[in-house]
Amino acid sequence: MRTLSSAGLVAICAVFALAGCASGPERSAAPPSPSTATPLRLDETSAGTTVRARVGQPVVLDLHSGYWRHLASSAPDVLRQTVATTPLPAPTCRVIGSGCGTFESGFEALRAGTATVTADRDSCGEAMACAPEQRTFTVTVVVDAS
């Protein structure tokens, strides 16, 4: 009867160990973390619509007028504001009081549910009142768990 040397026994064990690793279950990639998820970007073209987001997904709202104010979520436990509303002046804006520029605000979808993002304004230009249908911005965000 032939006996194996310790080096031969180690080699056989290594072959079986590698074979076990190769036949193991495949692993899928982890879902993106909130910081790497693609943001859902909204602007005036989103007004009056319903959009869908995933839990952990950032939602960015860009309103292209310096007169927008009171950007808020109706359900902060579903869609929480994470970036305060920030005015971003337009570099080409040359007329004072014209309202050119952008207001940007950031939100994060925290849990499944529905939230309405709103903003309002009174002026649509220097000394120019907005028509009633131009005074309010609303978009409904439905947050899905997956």
Give me 9's structure tokens.
């026994």
* This prediction's pTM: 0.68
Closest CA to 143 of 99, 78, 49, 95: 78
The answer to whether 79 and 24 are in contact (CB under 8 A) is no
Considering its fold, how many domains does the chain have in total? Answer: 1
Mean per-residue pLDDT for 38-54? 95
Closest CA to 54 of 74, 40, 42: 40
pLDDT mean across residues, the chain: 76
Greatest CA separation for the chain? 104
Mean per-residue pLDDT for 30-42? 69
Would you say residue 32 lies in a domain?
no
CA–CA gap between residue 99 and residue 103 (Å, rounded):
10
Give residue 125's pLDDT band: very low, low, confident or very high (50, 70, 90). confident
What tens digit of pLDDT does each residue of 80-123 get? 999 877 666 655 665 555 566 677 889 999 999 999 999 998 88
Would you say residue 52 lies in a domain?
yes
Closest CA to 144 of 59, 61, 71: 59
> Which domain CATH number covers 133?
2.60.40.2020
What domain range is 117 assigned to? 37-144
Would you say residue 74 lies in a domain?
yes
What tens digit of pLDDT does each residue of 47-74 get? 999 999 999 999 999 888 878 888 899 9
pLDDT (0 to 100) of residue 88: 65
Would you say residue 2 lies in a domain?
no
Would you say residue 13 lies in a domain?
no
Closest CA to 134 of 62, 60, 63: 63
Residue 134's contacts (CB-CB under 8 Å, 6 or more residues apart) are 121, 124
Would you say residue 93 lies in a domain?
yes
Please state, for a pLDDT cut of 70, what percent of the chain lies above it.
64
Would you say residue 123 lies in a domain?
yes
